[in-house]
Amino acid sequence: MTVPPDPRAGVSRRSFLKGSAVAGLASTGLTAAATAADGPTTFGPGAHDIVLTVNGAERKVAVETRTTLLDALRDGLDLTGAKRICDRGACGGCTVLLDGQPVNSCLVLAIDAIGRPVQTVESLAQGDLPHPLLEAFVHCDALQCGYCTPGMVMSSLACLQQRGRPTREQMQHDLAGNLCRCGTYGRVFAAIERTAQAGGK
């Protein structure tokens, strides 16, 4: 999608970048941004192509500085497993792993994900066999409408990776940021338990 330049961007974006912790930006996947003579890479106004490392592959996507990682994944790369439900970090529906840690991708700027591995729910069904956690979700019927489920899956995956065999209290803690309106929580716990028992992470 082409977007016209944003007339209000520019100076403030440059100073924002200079002052922010986006160290190493120049060595990362920026492909279209101009490089200012006086130092750090500038970015904006308007959209630019960046390269994100998503599910092990380098993916080019056009973003603005204000584009969230969630929107870059959903609208730019058609990876729509992560959902936009509250857009405020309150529901966990957009959970992906960034550097192996679960994050609300609606609260992460796409440019802040440059050079860092992003793992989305789609990665769990890329091979011949789906990830054991997905099979456990299906077996335990840990979903109804399914809209929160990709976020639940990614938080569950992080819980398993970090804790091995989590207790019920640890699961409740680790999934506290994921809301489900259908009320699947109990069966999500069962799915995590089942995966842990089978040794799958």
Partner 1 sequence: MTAPAGPRDGVEITVGYRGLGGMPDRLEARAVEPAEGDAPPWDANTPLRQVGGDHDRVDGLAKASGRAKYTSDVNLPGLLQAAILRAPIARGKLVQLELDAARAMPGIAAVVALKNVGSRVRFVGDAIAAVAGADLHRVRDALAAIRADYEVEPHNVDWLRGEDAPLLDADGEIAEPWPEAVALEGALALAATTHGATYRTEVQTHSSLEPHGATARWQGEDLEVWSSTQATFGVRGELAQALKGRGLRVGAVTVHAEYVGGGFGSKFGAGVEGLACCLLAHAAKAPVKLMLDRFEEHTTAGNRPAALLQLRGGLDAEGRLIAWDVRSYGGCGFNVERGDGGGNVAVPDYYTRAAKTRRKHTDLPADTDPARAMRAPGHPQGWFGAELFLDELAHKAGIDPLELRLRNDSQTMRQDQWRFGAERFGWAAARARPNAPDARFRRGVGLASARWSQLGSAGRPPHGVQCRIHRDGSVEVRSGAQDIGTGLKTVLALIAAEELGIDPKLVQAFTGHTGDPSGPGSGGSTTTPSLSPAVRHAAFLARQQLAGFVATHLGADAAEIDCRDGTVGTRTQRLAWAEACKLIGPNPIDVRGQRFPNYGGKPFSASVCGCQFAEVEVDTWTGQVRVLRMLAVQDCGLVIAKKLAESQVLGAMLQGISFALHEQRIMDRQSGRMLNGDFLRYKILGSADVPELDCVLMTVHNGHSSTPAAGLGEPPAVAAPAAVATAVFHALGEPVRHLPITPDKVLAALARRA
Q: Point out which residues bind partner 1 (CB under 8 A).
A: 1-7, 64, 66, 71, 74-75, 78-88, 90-91, 93, 120-122, 124-125, 130, 134-135, 137-139, 141-150, 153, 171-173, 175-176, 178-189
If the CB atoms of residues 53 and 144 are measured against partner 1, the closer one turns out to be 144
If the CB atoms of residues 24 and 130 are measured against partner 1, the closer one turns out to be 130
If the CB atoms of residues 38 and 183 are measured against partner 1, the closer one turns out to be 183
If the CB atoms of residues 22 and 82 are measured against partner 1, the closer one turns out to be 82
Q: How far is the CB of 153 from partner 1 (least distance, A)?
A: 6
Q: How far is the CB of 80 from partner 1 (least distance, A)?
A: 4
Q: How far is the CB of 180 from partner 1 (least distance, A)?
A: 7
Cβ contact 106:94 at 8 Å: yes
